[in-house]
Amino acid sequence: MTINKIIKFRIILFLLLFMSVCFFFHKAIVPSGKIVYVNNFEKENYFLGKLSPGERVAMGDKKIENIIIANPVYFNLYTPRAFDKAVLKYRYKNICKIPLIETGALVDKNAWRYDLKPVENRLIDQLSLVWNEIREGDEILLVRPETLGGEAGTSYSNIKDFISNPPSFNQVAAYNYNLNLNYFLEDYHPSEFATQDIPALRGAYQFFVYLKNENLDLNFIFYDLNKNKDSDDFDIRLYFNNELIDFKHIEDDGNISDNGEFSRENNFHVYLANLPEGAYKIEVKANNDIITKTIKSAHKKMAFIHKLELFNSGNQDIKLYTDSNLIQATTIFPESLQTVKINENNLDINETYKQFEISTGNQGTSSEILLQKDGLILSGDGVFAFNPFSLINPKIKKADYNLDVNKAGINYIIAKYKTPQKIGEWSMAEVEIDLAQAYRENNKNSFIISAPALKQKDKKKLYFDLIEIELNGRSLRDKINNLWN
């Protein structure tokens, strides 16, 4: 071999090495700000993880588990850099006619909250065939046919009309739509005495209070269990019409170990004057080490939203009231196993770490829940209160499979929803997700596929053929321009 040939050979080899390094750098930096990851369930994908947990998925005709048999399932997306937006594309087969499929990214790890977006909502799909439909892009307004020209001549020609001149609160259901309708209680008078005495709650929770010619006045008593490592800081947030209007941050007790030494009790007074009439949402954003020993307040209306965990402190015979149609209960404490009485029905909680549920058939009515003891996590699609007269639900009814539009007297449904495209027996859905708000750890985003009606015991299945994620973020040029500006 002549020296010339050796040099040529060396140049070719180093050129190949250089090109491969450039290729990997390109994949790592994504200079265009756009990249697509595909999981077709034929080959393991490093970036787009498998559906998990294993017991909720099954093997189909692919090489990797692609059938969902129980709800919910998760998958991770590893990206070498951060992106602002993701467009998820699912090709799936819903032969069991599962009424609601949603997906989303994890936004709050402490509260284990995923920001859910619609994949398929069969209630809206079916109603759009029989009700009058106004569709403007992704926005849909469904109007019950007999309502047209009915109530005070409210026939809407477009969605803007509907927003500017909405019907009464009780007639409207919404899905994936931020609709602010004024919620006022007629014949409401503030109470002069302390009417609320909430038992010990664990971790995060949210509740509504109603104010009219009164000041927001809440007395919390908190303490820290110190059972988990890390600092146990927490926040109390106040919202009005979905907007944050006040915020308090409470520092950890100084003990960041997991020695289980309870901190001393801390009183925390939330007081705000001159607030306009309406329903306010208070959110306590805390981890499971934080116990709210009690909340004392004089507010007549006070209802906990969707979920509350009653701390295992030995309380017995606790009565709650809810407007939820579907109630779920779980316990992690063997001593809290019990039979929960809901109206005339019994719900046996006879296993720890297992979720039990019951349908109350509530559509605008309320149910009484009688707990033998605390230590339960209660959740539902409505609100929970400790007094029957405290129930208040200023949330617009959610238009999903739990809603009986006839029983609930719903005449209008407004939604932001794209009906999945049908290709034979396969459906193709496209969902846009804001990744800028999503929780990211070790370069990974966690996603959920939620189909609440999919239960293992029902032997229903949801087949997936393809998951494609198109990511969009700032390009290298934008980043360089930002550095200069």
**In the complex, which residues of this chain contact another protein (CB under 8 A)?**
1, 6, 9-10, 13-14, 16-17, 20-21, 23-25, 27-28, 45-47, 78, 80, 443
Q: Taking Cα atoms as reference points, which of 123, 90, 122 lies closest to residue 104?
A: 90
**In whole angstroms, how close is the CB of 441 to another protein at the nearest point?**
13
Question: What span, in angstroms and rounded, lies between the C-alpha atoms of 176 and 461?
Answer: 25
Distances (CA, A) of 434 to 74, 104, 324, 450, 460: 17, 9, 29, 18, 31
Smallest separation, CB 16 to another protein (Å): 8
Closest CA to 211 of 308, 297, 306, 323: 297
In the complex, what is the shortest distance from the CB of residue 235 to another protein, in angstroms, rounded to a whole number? 33
Q: How far is the CB of 1 from another protein (least distance, A)?
A: 5
CB nearer to another protein: pick between 47 and 183: 47
Closer Cβ to another protein, 45 or 379, answer by number: 45
Shortest Cβ 35–another protein spacing (Å): 12
C-beta of 10: minimal distance to another protein in Å?
5
183 and 277 in contact (C-beta within 8 Å)? no
**Minimum CB distance to another protein, residue 76 (Å):** 12
Residue 378 in tokens: 């209660």
**Which residue's CB is nearer to another protein, number 1 or number 152?**
1
In angstroms, give the least distance from the CB of 34 to another protein: 17
Distance CA 43, CA 3 (A): 45
**What six digits make up the tokens of 82?**
């951060």
Strand pairing class (412-416; 172-175): parallel
Do 89 and 429 touch, CB atoms closer than 8 A?
yes
Measuring CA to CA, which residue among 195, 242, 239 is closest to residue 219?
195
Q: How many CB atoms sit inside 10 A of residue 243's CB?
A: 9
Complex with another protein: residue 416 or 479, whichever CB lies closer? 479
Min dist. Cβ of residue 78 to another protein (A): 6
Nearest to 428 by CA among 120, 31, 26: 120
Spatial contact of 144 and 165, defined as CB atoms under 8 Å apart? no
Indicate the residue among 29 and 466 with the shorter CB distance to another protein. Answer: 29
Q: Is residue 84 a contact partner of residue 62, using CB atoms and an 8 Å limit?
A: no
The nearest distance, CB 467 to another protein, in angstroms, is 16
Distance (Å, whole) CA 394 – CA 206: 13
**Nearest-approach distance from CB 90 to another protein, in angstroms:** 22
Q: Which of 281, 272, 283, 228 is nearest to 252 (CA)?
A: 228
CB count within 10 Å of CB 434 equals 14
Beta bridge partners of 36: 470
**21 vs 436, which CB is nearer to another protein?**
21
Closest alpha carbon to 474 in 436, 443, 446: 436
| Complex with another protein: residue 28 or 130, whichever CB lies closer | 28
Are the CB atoms for 437 and 83 separated by under 8 Å? no
**In the complex with another protein, which residue's Cβ is closer, 80 or 260?**
80
Quickly count: other Cβ atoms within 10 Å of residue 50's Cβ.
Answer: 17
Q: By C-beta, is 25 or 389 nearer to another protein?
A: 25
Yes or no: say if 270 and 238 are a contact pair by the CB < 8 Å rule. Answer: yes
**Cβ nearer to another protein, comparing 30 with 320:** 30
Q: How many CB atoms lie within 10 A of CB 397?
A: 25
Task: Give, as one character, the DSSP assignment of residue 233.
Answer: -
Closer by beta carbon to another protein, 259 or else 442 = 442
Torsion angle of alpha carbons 375, 322, 116, 242, nearest 10°?
A: -110
Q: Among residues 27 and 229, whose Cβ is nearest to another protein? A: 27
- Provide the minimum distance between the beta carbon of 2 and another protein in the complex, in angstroms, as a whole number: 10
